[in-house]
Amino acid sequence: MALFDRTSTIGFIGAGAVGGSLGVCLSRAGYRVVAVGSRTFASAQRFAERIDGCQAHHMAQEVADAVQLVVISTADDAIRSVAEGVTWRSGQLVAHCSGATSLDVFRHPVSQGAVAGAFHPLQAFSSVENGVDSIPGTTFGIEGSPEVRTALADMAQAIGGKPVFLNAEDKPLYHLTGVMMGNLLTCLAATAAQLWEQCGYSRAEGVEALVPMMRGVVNNLERSGVPGAVAGPYVRGDLGTIRKHVETLDARAPEVLPLYRELARAAIPFGVEKRALNPKIAQQIEVILEPPEI
């Protein structure tokens, strides 16, 4: 018999944005999401109301007793203590949704015969409503034994996700790519939008102006990949424009200059790879972007 399949039962501990979104998508895909618990019973009730046949429980143990697969979708810091607070059955599957947490947090369940995995959606979740819409097409980073990988990969595919298998040592690197694309890209957009205040507009107006451009960038990346989609003054070799950028930031927003310099320097090898940027011009750009010696 398979370790876990669509006929098996699933329970969630942690009824937040990720747990709630996965619960709804798995239930819609025909999986039996039958139990949920959370720190606050009201959160578990809200989760259960969205899913036919799902029951909210007060205790994590009640969830674990009711199902074959327990997904611990709490904040990262709570995963280990939640897992340690439960008595596990032999052959039961337990998975967390964290990209930054290793399977070491599941020593206790494994010592009792449970089987451990990780099921991490490489996506930014802010609410269940948004999460449910964004799951199709999302990559899922999966960790575990071959049997666990198969079970969790089937689950990812059933909800429109794309599974990738990760070794423990590669997980932090994989996770930080998501952080760069989610959190840091948002910070970059926020930093750029803030500069609009110096042009007589609000930061919100800056966001409004820049978001359609971000969509264009995403389309370009999807269509042309790297280095095809990499463009701009560094790829064109527009030395005068780059010099003007550096001088302007130095005078008007010096706190942004180190960030600009580093990102601009990162563009240079892609411009050369694209054969759009002559290596001699690339060297001159490097000189303009070098921080002054102190």
Ligand X SMILES: NC(=O)c1ccc[n+]([C@@H]2O[C@H](COP(=O)([O-])OP(=O)(O)OC[C@H]3O[C@@H](n4cnc5c(N)ncnc54)[C@H](OP(=O)(O)O)[C@@H]3O)[C@@H](O)[C@H]2O)c1
- Where on the chain is the footprint of ligand X (CB under 6 A)? 13-19, 38-40, 43, 73-76, 78, 82, 96-99, 120-121, 123-125
20 vs 237, beta carbon nearer ligand X: 20
The CA distance from 170 to 150, in Å, is 19
Ranked by CB distance to ligand X, the top (closest) residue is 16
Minimum separation from the CB atom of position 76 to ligand X (A): 5
Beta carbon nearer to ligand X, 45 or 248 = 45
User: CB of 98: closest distance to ligand X in angstroms?
Assistant: 4
- Using the minimum distance from each CB to ligand X, give the nearer residue, 74 or 249: 74
- The distance of closest approach from Cβ of residue 91 to ligand X in the complex, given in angstroms and rounded to an integer, is 24
The residue among 121 and 271 lying less far from ligand X, judged by its C-beta, is 121
Asked whether the beta carbons of 169 and 140 are under 8 A apart, the reply is: no
Q: Could you tell me the smallest distance in angstroms from the CB atom of residue 120 to ligand X?
A: 5
3-state secondary structure string across 200-268: CCCHHHHHHHHHHHHHHHHHHHHHHHHHHCCCCHHHHCCHHHHHHHHHHHHHHCHHHHHHHHHHHHHHH
Residues 45 and 39: their CA atoms lie apart, in Å, by 11
DSSP per residue over 140-187, as a string?
A: EEEEE-HHHHHHHHHHHHHTT-EEEE--GGGHHHHHHHHHIIIIIHHH
CA–CA gap between residue 214 and residue 216 (Å, rounded)? 5
Q: Which is nearer to ligand X, 141 or 271 (CB)?
A: 141
Question: Measured between alpha carbons, how far is 9 from 68 in angstroms, rounded to an integer?
Answer: 5
Shortest distance, position 122 Cβ to ligand X, whole Å: 7
Measured from the CB atom, the residue of 23 and 227 that comes closer to ligand X is 23
Whole-number minimum distance, CB 124 to ligand X, in Å? 5
**Residue 258 to residue 292: CA distance in whole angstroms:** 11
